[in-house]
Structure 1
Amino acid sequence: MAFFWLVMGVVLLQRLGELILANRNARLIRSLGGYEIGSDHYKYIVLLHLLFFLSLIWEVVAGQKVPLLPNGWLFPFTSFVLAQFLRYWCIISLGRHWNTRILVLPGSKPVRRGPYRFLRHPNYLVVGIELLALPLTFQAYATAILFTLLNAWLLLKVRIPMEQQAVYARREP
């Protein structure tokens, strides 16, 4: 259980740091004439992630789970750790444009460096891996399945279409 709380502490501190960075980047983009689109759905993204952490904590603390396989935590945890490298590659590649919100800076071009040379939405791949791998590390199977599916629906039906709209909005003067 100590390993669980250590990992949760690190991940929650990581998320707090990312929110601070996102707010700093948002202020900068707005000061340059940028604006936000899709703000109506942002609260659902925040709610999904908040409920994910609460569900993960509850499912792990509520039951002493037995892994499906001996050392069954090793593959999902390794996947989670590797996803963090991709996460920071995304953040570094986007620089001041990285954010948890959809911000448009008119006249700017979409970033095509780093992982964005290969994938259109690599950060969402990271989130998908995290929402599946972190719960599987601690045998929180219901959390893994439920939040992976909810996230996929929210991304595919709401968030990614909004981001595509933002890409076209950037081109307008």
Structure 2
Amino acid sequence: MPGWAEGSRWPLFVLGLVLMSAGIAIRQCAVALLGRFFTIDVRVHPGQAVVERGPYRWVRHPSYTGMILTFIGIGLAFGNWAALAVLAVVPTVGLLVRIRFEERALLDGLGEPYRRFAANRPRLFPGVW
């Protein structure tokens, strides 16, 4: 697949790097705030509580927000529409499915505190979803 038009390559490359950096920083912050409760499996652990600091002030799943921004940034930096489409769409669809399972587990495991938390924040992007 052809890349971007030659005149627009550098601004999109730089934007891609900025989005990748922001995404990585957001994800790392989210993971650090969850500490030992961050796992790859979907379940609530004994002693786990709702985290409302850092990026969790604005969205329910900042780790996934960071991943999506990182993948979009990589697609832009590659300078190829096909790469951008694949990197933006495929992981996002997977994350949307995972979020449904994860939120069910969080509601079951944490109850009312998570319900209140979720009622006041979008899932991934403020003003979007």
TM-score, normalization by structure 1: 0.55
Is the counterpart of residue 159 in structure 1 residue 123 in structure 2?
no
Name 2:117's counterpart in structure 1.
Answer: none
Is the counterpart of residue 142 in structure 1 residue 82 in structure 2?
yes
Is the Cα contact below 8 Å between 1:107 and 1:171 reproduced in 2? Answer: no
CA positional deviation for 1:109: 2.1
Counterpart amino acid of 2:71? L
Name 2:18's counterpart in structure 1.
Answer: 78
- Cα distance, 1:103–1:146 mapped onto 2, change above 3 Å: same
Is the counterpart of residue 117 in structure 1 residue 57 in structure 2?
yes
Counterpart amino acid of 1:152? T
Q: Any residues of structure 2 matched to 1:28-67 within 5 Å, and which?
A: 67=6
Counterpart amino acid of 1:100? I
Is the counterpart of residue 69 in structure 1 residue 8 in structure 2?
yes
Counterpart amino acid of 2:83? T
CA positional deviation for 1:66: 5.9
- Summarize deviations over 1:14-49 as a string: whole Å, max 9, x none: xxxxxxxxxxxxxxxxxxxxxxxxxxxxxxxxxxxx
Dislocated runs of 4+, deviation >4 Å: 63-68
Name 1:102's counterpart in structure 2.
Answer: 42
Partners of 2:6 and 2:45 lie apart in 1 by 47
Name 1:91's counterpart in structure 2.
Answer: 31
- Cα distance, 1:140–1:100 mapped onto 2, change above 3 Å: farther
TM-score, normalization by structure 2: 0.71
**Aligned residue pairs: how many?**
110
Please list every run of 5 or more consecutive structure 2 residues that lacks an aligned counterpart in the other structure: 112-129
Name 1:128's counterpart in structure 2.
Answer: 68
Please list every run of 5 or more consecutive structure 1 residues that lacks an aligned counterpart in the other structure: 1-58
- Summarize deviations over 1:74-126 as a string: whole Å, max 9, x none: 11111211222212211211111122332321453222222112210111111
CA positional deviation for 1:169: 2.6
Say which one has the larger Rg. Answer: 1
Percent identity of paired positions between Structure 1 and Structure 2: 25
Counterpart amino acid of 1:81? S
- Summarize deviations over 1:58-85 as a string: whole Å, max 9, x none: x8xxx78764515231111112112222
